[in-house]
Structure formats: C-alpha cells, structure tokens
Amino acid sequence: MITSPKGWNVQCSVYQYIQSRPLPSGCFVACTGTSVHSPNAVGNQPLDKAIHKLFLMFRRKCAQKSPKFSVLPSGMDSLRKCCALIVIGVLASGMGTRCSTAQNAPASPQSTILDRLLAGGKSAWTPEQIEAMERLRDAALKNPYALDELRHLTDNIGPRLSGSPQAQQAVDYIAQEMRALGAEVTLEKAMVPHWVRGVETAEVVSWPGQAPGASQKVVLTALGGSVATPAEGLTAEVVVVDDWQQLHALPAGTVKGKILLFNHKFDKELAAEGHGGEAYGGGVVYRGEGPSAGAALGAVAVLVRSVGGADYRLPHTGLTDYAPDVAKIPAAAVAAEDADLLKDLAGQGPVTLHLTLTPQTLPYAQSYNVIADWKGSEHPEQLVVVSGHLDSWDLGTGAIDDGAGVTVSMQAIHLLKVLGIHPRRTVRFIAWMSEEEGSEGAAAYIAEHGTEAANHIGAIESDLGADHPTGIYCAGRHDLSQWLRPVGQVLDAIGAGGLVDAGGTGEDISGLTEKGVPSFAPVQDSRFYFNYHHTAADTFDKVDPRHLNENAAVMAVLAYALADSAEPAPR
C-alpha cells in the first residue's frame, strides 16, 4: 500500500516512479517540492520547513524518540526533472507498531528496502576499494597534515590578496609542499587584479541631536576593487534605503550628490536554519550592483550594510562589480551596527558623513594556479580535480575562506602517498588564484585546458568553510548521486554521507561543470560561516581541527573514488 497523505504535495513523476518499484507492502512514501537536505541534518541541522513537518509527524505517530526513516535526494531515473525530496518511512500495520518493531530489531527490513532504492544497480567499486576508502577516511581523521599546513598558510604567510607578495609566497610554498609529496607540480600563469587597501575611515559629522563639535565614528571597510575618495575625504548627506524597491520609490534627484546606504539586513534566521548560502545570496547583490546603481542616480559614494551575520562591529569586505558604462564611485561596507545607526539618525533628519577611502588599483599582476598531479597508474591522462582557492581577502588571514579548502585538498594527495594508494586515474590538486577578485585563475585554466574537458573525469572544490560536512553536493547527470551512494555509505560513519543534487558546486570549477564534468563539493554546516567570512575574524582559530579533518576525509575519499572506479562517473 502506498499512501499519499492528504495535503502533501506529491509530485506525480516521483510517485509513479516509486509505484513502479518492487516495494513490499507497508511502504509509506511522501514527496515534497523543496530543496534537498542530508539525513544527517536531522536533530542538529534545521530542515526545510515542509520536511521538518514530516519528521514531526513521523515522531508523533510513532510515539518514539527516533523513528527510522531516511531522506533521499531526488535524481533517480525518471526523477530527473523533479526537484523533490522523498521521505520514506517503512510501516506495517500501523506506523507506531512498525516503528517500535524496527527499533527493537537491529536487522531491520528498512535497510534492505532503502538499500535497494538507493543502490539501484551494482556498485562501481569492489569491496577492496571500499576498504581503501575507509582507510583514507580513518587516516584523515587522525592525521594533522591539513591542520599544520593551514596554520602555516594563515599564521606564517598571512592574508593572500591577489597580486600581493603573500599570494606569491603562498604559491611558492604550496608548490614546494606538493613537490615534497612526490606530485608532479606545474605553475600555470594567470594575470590577476592587484588592488591594495588604503585608509578607510568615516565619521558622522552632523545629525539631529548632535552635541556642538561632536562627531561619531562609523566602522567600515572598502569593498574590493573600490576606487578612492579624494585623499582628504568627501562629505555628503546620507540617504538610506533597505532594498531596490525603496531605492526606486525615491523621488527623482534624491540621491544626487549624496552618499547612498543600502541597508539590506542579512537573514540571520535563515542562516541559523542551515541556509547560510541563501542568506548570503540575498544580500550580496547590493554589494555587487549597489555602487553602480547609486552612481547611475548621481550618488558620490555607496555604502552597503555588511553581508554577513557578525555582530561586534565587524565589517565584511568582498568584491564589488562596477558596471562598465557608469562612473566608478567609492564603495564600502559598514558594520551592521553602524548601518542601524545611520538609518536611525537619517529617519530623524539630515545626517552628514565624512568618508575617506584611499585604495589603489594597480596594473594586473602575474600570478599562478598551483597544479600538482598524483599520476594515475592506468589512465594518467584522465583527471580528477581536488581543489580550493589560494587567494584570500586581506582583513583576516583567509583560514575558512579558503585556506581550509586548499589544505584539505592537499591532504587528499598526502594521504594517497602515506597509504601508498595509486588510483587508476590522476588526482590533480589545484590551488586556484584570484577567486575573490574575479576567478582569473579559473578562467586561465579553462583557456588552457577547456578542450580537455572530456579527460576531466570529475572535479571537486571546497570553498564553503571548514565546519562539519554533512555530505556531498553533486552537479551533473541526474543519476550521479545514486552512482555515488556506496561512497556516501563510507562517509556515513562521520555523518558526511548525504548526497545532494545541486545545480553547481565551486566557483572555480564552474567552467568545468558547464562543460559537463561531474562536479562536487562538501556540504558544510553554513550556520556560522558568514559570521567570519571576508572579515578580520577569518583566522586560524576559527577552524575546528576535528571538522577540518572530516572535510579532508570527504575530499580524500571522494577523490579516490572518482579516480579508481571501474567506469568513470556518469556524465
């Protein structure tokens, strides 16, 4: 019996698919149109509301603390176009009965049903290969290499802004470390922006209720790529809008000659629910497009409320994206508290700000992607990319963004060496340059290797921090996540086995994804990432060694799995 409970949004193609499978009677199937989450999210990672409701219902009906169930990412066979989650609980003659039976019986029938659904065919890996994955996973958890390398990259080398001496030092250092592992190292040229931060100060110099002669400091930081104010600064009245709608509703001429502040609030609740990326996406458009939108209306400078969840008056930097046909005006991010201050005061009457930003945009500099190949034993020409980006913003030391991604990728090669594993295909480590300032390194790689996309069997990038991974984002053919299921089972032991279909993964490998290369990224806990990302607080201490090692385990196991499977990943 398959039940479609009233009020649930059951998508027909999913429903029919399930109906066509040889499920035993008593299966309970429900689907909701929503994004995909890992089963490991249950309990410690908030779920999409619809799914959460389902779990609550299971719990209630089972009258058990933890009824057995599983969440499957869609993407199987006819589910190709169905953006749905499938929640499966196994029931017999009543939910409560079966759930309690299942809890008392370790050899629950659920696993066989779920396994059949999940596996859907024979595994691409032998038991010996699965065992190698388990060894890689366990070694990653114990081995301090990734942490030691990250400490050096952040504490000793420091911030790695594109074109800076530290970025060059990082290139040389990583190349030397990869050579020491016995990998074949190449430095591939990329011309990158060379922007240098200068003085960045601001004071409110007149406002309603001001004591005579007083001023108030405003905490801000120049946006990446910003042009400068005059050296002595500029003084202008502040106009505050919360969003595009408010901007467009202003009477003509309101912004002319003024400093425009976009006060879009970062959605902290959304981030706290585990959707940090979506919360960031909601605000980052103002950082990217706000300065040119303000310039088009005659503003003399644009400020944006920091795109992140930090309190403690921590401004977030990040690239701004000047439109080609509009004057470039100075642009900075103000700390959330200062955005609130300016909004409050501007609501009472005219507020004037004195703003000084003196960044410099120097000519493009020559830099490099660091490429290190761990040569394949059977198909050295076939490549599996494991990567992170080496450049960082300059306020902190780029530990979570993205020193961690680089060093967990280094660890994949290091562990292959330590364990003496030589997969069939080449595992290619890449430390990308200039992701933060326009992804010039990635563009240079595509220019050089774009025609070799067919030889790229898979690509992985870690660029969402270093918090606990719950699984793997998979971008590519619809059955990719299903094919990867045995790998997910190896990673289940560390709570990282969820396989999540995604439209894209890492920014630097997006060019490969577009060319049909199966692409992957660890799914990282994003609840706290945007509290530190692009701020002065992105430093080594923010990285939990255990979580870093879990990410290294995901990278090493996945890289090996892609490089040693009997057949390449489906594409």
- Per CB under 5 A, residues contacting Zn ion are 401-402, 463
User: To the nearest whole angstrom, how small is the minimum distance from the Cβ of residue 392 to Zn ion?
Assistant: 8
> Which lies closer to Zn ion via its Cβ, residue 273 or residue 402?
402
- Phi-psi region for residue 257, left (φ > 0), alpha (ψ -120 to 50) or beta? left
Whether the CB-CB separation of 229 and 268 falls below 8 Å is answered with no
Q: In what helix (H) or strand (E) does residue 392 lie, and over which residues does it extend?
A: none
Among candidate residues 567, 566, 561, 379, the one with its CA nearest the CA of residue 484:
561
CA gap 488, 14 in Å, rounded: 22
Closest C-alpha to 474, from 484, 464, 463, 489: 484
CB 384 within 8 A of CB 459: yes
Cα dist from 506 to 151, 262, 419, whole Å: 23, 28, 28
Residues in the chain: 571
The residue among 402 and 440 lying less far from Zn ion, judged by its C-beta, is 402
Specify burial of residue 206 (Cβ count, 10 A radius: 0-12, 13-18, 19+).
middle
- CA 505 vs CA 50, 476, 484: distances in Å: 24, 10, 16
Distance CA 198, CA 220 (A): 12
CB 436 within 8 A of CB 508: no
Question: Which C-beta is closer to Zn ion: that of 345 or that of 431?
Answer: 431
User: Is 463 or 564 the residue whose CB approaches Zn ion more closely?
Assistant: 463
Which residue in the list 273, 289, 435, 440 is annotated as catalytic?
A: 435
If the CB atoms of residues 383 and 466 are measured against Zn ion, the closer one turns out to be: 466
Q: Tokens in use for 170? A: 């990082």
The nearest distance, CB 394 to Zn ion, in angstroms, is 14
Q: How far is the CB of 401 from Zn ion (least distance, A)?
A: 4
Query: What minimum distance in Å lies between the beta carbon of 230 and Zn ion?
Result: 33
Contacts for 347 with CB less than 8 Å, ≥ 6 apart: 240
Beta 220-222 vs 360-374: how paired, if at all? unpaired
Minimal distance, residue 405 CB to Zn ion, in Å? 7
- C-alpha to C-alpha distance for 570 and 484, rounded to whole angstroms: 10
Give me 134's structure tokens: 């388990």
Give the Cα separation of 406 and 413 in Å (integer): 11
Provide, rounded to whole angstroms, the least separation between the CB of residue 540 and Zn ion. 16
Q: How far is the CB of 410 from Zn ion (least distance, A)?
A: 16
CA dist 467 and 544 (Å) reads 7
Whether 480 and 459 have beta carbons less than 8 Å apart is answered as no
Pairwise CA distance, residues 62 & 96, whole Å: 4
SS3 364: strand
Instruction: State the DSSP H helix or E strand holding residue 136, giving kind and residue range, or none if neither.
Output: helix 127-142
Residue 452 catalytic? no
| Closest approach of Zn ion to the CB of residue 463, in Å | 4
Q: Which residue has the tokens 């595994």?
A: 123
- Nearer to Zn ion by C-beta: 273 or 463? 463
Report the largest interatomic distance among the alpha carbons of the chain, rounded to a whole angstrom: 81
Q: Which is nearer to Zn ion, 479 or 525 (CB)?
A: 525
Question: N- to C-terminal Cα distance for the chain?
Answer: 35
| 3-state SS, one letter per residue, for 436-498 | CCCCHHHHHHHHHHHHHHHHEEEEEECCCCCCCEEEEEEECCCCHHHHCHHHHHHHHCCCCCE
With respect to Zn ion, which residue has the nearer C-beta, 402 or 564?
402
Smaller CB distance to Zn ion: residue 342 or 555? 555
Query: Shortest distance, CB of residue 389 to Zn ion, whole angstroms?
Result: 6
Catalytically active residues are 435
